[in-house]
Structure 1
Amino acid sequence: MAKRSHEPLRKEEKRKLDKAGLKKLAGIFRFMLPYKGLFILGLMALGLSTFTIMAFPKLAGELVDVATGNSKYFSSIEQVVITLVIVLFIQSIFSFIRVYTFSNVSERGIADVRKAVYQKILWLPMTFFDSRRTGELMSRITSDVATLQDTFSFTLAEFFRQVLSLIFGTIIIFYLTPSLALFMLLTFPVIVVAALIFGTYIRKLSRKTQDKLAEVNVIVEESFQSIFVVKAFTNELFQINKFTKALQEVVSVAIRSSLYRSLFVSFVIFVLFGGIVAIGWHGANLVQANELQPGELFSFVFYTAIIGFSIAGLGDIYAQLQRAIGASERVLDILALQDEAEPVDDQRLQLSGEIVFDNVSFSYPSR
């Protein structure tokens, strides 16, 4: 099973999420078409699962209203609890179908991708192998295909779910409490934009730390590969000092990155909860003026949290899609190469045993 990567994107991994990039990702999606029935079923389950879970905050608010004697739809707490349990049970069924179908489609489709890449590589001419390292080819079948597997089994489902949650949640809060929703719109985007700007700077520092660590690894690799030269010229102390200096640079950049990350965490906690306090303050004033029921305020805070998590999740999903586009580009480049003529299965060679060497020559294709 593929593992999701939460490391910041390296420069070579960045891809534009535009029409051309999505077209490359769609080029891999053709391997999923034989299983489109299961995929469509998973999409339907995804939509229904998201829709049913959006009823949970409203019902939780009704629980508060029943307790205070202001509910319009229920007469007892037990009725609300039973309805909540039924909604959660239905949602769990849809979630099971979604996870199972997406996993099934991705496992089968990605197996076809691996087979196609492996088969293509074996049929490529020797000139292809002369210009590429074994590790690079292994990376195409392992790392790149694993990234694509993660995309089709998790990232796409999460993308659709977050978008649907954002749309449904926004519609619901404007329908239930339009005045409070407008107040939220005046404060929430400022928080999100500030967090994104802060997060971008921290990701740059994280990439710089990775670059410095890569330089350290290069020093280690060169010294080990050329250990005979190091020993011959008694350069042990020189290499150790060089390694120590590079290591200190890594620590310096990492500490600087952790400083800004700590400030970022404190900033997010303060501003996020500050925004919730501001919304709660305005909502409490509406409750006090009998313009809003306590349960509606509770539901609104719940929906606002769902919307916030959806927006935050889209940032990570965007980075995952960039990785997937880069992986699909590299895989499709291999699949598009001209390979050697494949033999026909029903065509058998007729050998008579007479062998003649006439004007025979030999040379390496890449030399």
Structure 2
Amino acid sequence: MAKRNDPLQADRQSSRRVGSLAALWPFLRPYRGIAALAVCALVLTASVSLILPLAVRRVVDQFNGATELLDSYFLVALGFAGLLALGTGARYYLVTRLGERVVADIRRAVFDRVIGMSPAFFERIMTGEVLSRITTDTTLILSVIGSSVSIALRNFLILIGGAALMMLTSAKLTAYALLIVPVVIVPIILLGRRLRALSRENQDWIAESSGNASEALLSVQTVQAFTHEAENRAAFADVTERAFRSAKTRIGTRA
């Protein structure tokens, strides 16, 4: 696998940087309107997530108070809960739709590029691996655009807002809470790097598996003519098992 992937090593080294995600901007730019609406929905849900506990606190504090006041606080809390549900639904729809649209454009652009490559390119890279990159790898991009980025931004806004509310409530308590942040963040960063490397390795083995299967099936008459079925079965079983072991390691690290 290493030899086949040598021509791609430079690109893969650069893809390890977060800045490489900037390459997605040309695909996102035509859909700035949808992205802006998604950001608005995200800010709304993050804000309501911070306000809703305050409304619930009012309901609890006034539980033995006047019935009219309790009803008012309860209705306000219920309204915020409904607003949170609507905002969450809108955010999911907009972000998922944006992700699907961008991934469809990326797949089309990659295919348009690959179909014009020289025959020498396909001598170095198996057709099955190219197909895996177009399908499987772009699915990972979909998970980033349609889920990971929006969840990360939402959690970041909630973190900032929550810290501000804690500071207003008790600056001393906030300072104590911030002391444990490095203890929590450092392991997350280290595990995140490890998971990224394992995910990349797993995708490489999946691509290798697809390449072996495609190569054998596209020339199945030749394989059978030379009674090479056993060797192809063994080769495919080997890369599939390696992909499984890589996935198992990734799952264990993530757990």
Q: Same fold (TM over 0.5)?
A: yes
Q: Which has the larger radius of gyration?
A: 1
CA distance in 2, matches of 1:41, 1:226: 51
In structure 1, which of residues 103, 118, 135 is the aligned counterpart of residue 128 of structure 2? Answer: 135
Preserved CA contact (<8 Å) 1:66 1:75: no
Structure-1 residue corresponding to 2:184: 192
Shift of 1:123: 1.3
CA gap of 1:162–1:226, structure 2 versus 1, over 3 A, is closer
**What root-mean-square deviation, in Å, do the aligned CA atoms of Structure 1 and Structure 2 show?**
4.1
In structure 2, which of residues 81, 86, 90 is the aligned counterpart of residue 93 of structure 1? Answer: 86
- Is 2:113 the partner of 1:120? yes
Structure-2 residue corresponding to 1:153: 146
In structure 1, which of residues 164, 180, 202 is the aligned counterpart of residue 173 of structure 2? Answer: 180
Structure-2 residue corresponding to 1:49: 45
Pairing 1:35-74 to 2, within 5 Å after superposition: 35-67=31-63
Query: Quick check: which one's helix share is greater?
Result: 2
In structure 2, which of residues 204, 228, 231 is the aligned counterpart of residue 225 of structure 1? Answer: 231
CA distance in 2, matches of 1:15, 1:42: 26
In structure 2, which of residues 22, 31, 47 is the aligned counterpart of residue 26 of structure 1? Answer: 22
CA shift digits 1:127-152 (9 cap, x unpaired): 11111112210121012111111111
Shift of 1:119: 1.5
CA shift digits 1:96-138 (9 cap, x unpaired): 2211111222212211111111111111121111111122101
Displaced runs of 4+ in structure 1, greater than 6 A? Answer: none
CA shift digits 1:155-178 (9 cap, x unpaired): 111121111111111001111233
CA distance in 2, matches of 1:90, 1:227: 56
Shift of 1:179: 3.2
Shift of 1:193: 5.2
Pairing 1:1-367 to 2, within 5 Å after superposition: 16-17=16-17, 21-22=18-19, 24-67=20-63, 76-186=69-179, 188-189=180-181, 192=184, 196=188, 200=191, 224-225=230-231
CA distance in 2, matches of 1:97, 1:13: 37
Shift of 1:67: 2.7
Q: Which has the higher contact order (CA 8 A, sep 6+)?
A: 1
TM-score (norm 2): 0.66
Q: Which runs of 5+ in 1 are unaligned?
A: 1-11, 229-242, 244-249, 266-367
Count of residues in correspondence between the two structures:
208
SS in 1 for 2:125: coil
Preserved CA contact (<8 Å) 1:31 1:112: yes
Amino acid at match of 2:155: Q
Q: Which runs of 5+ in 2 are unaligned?
A: 1-11, 210-228, 239-244
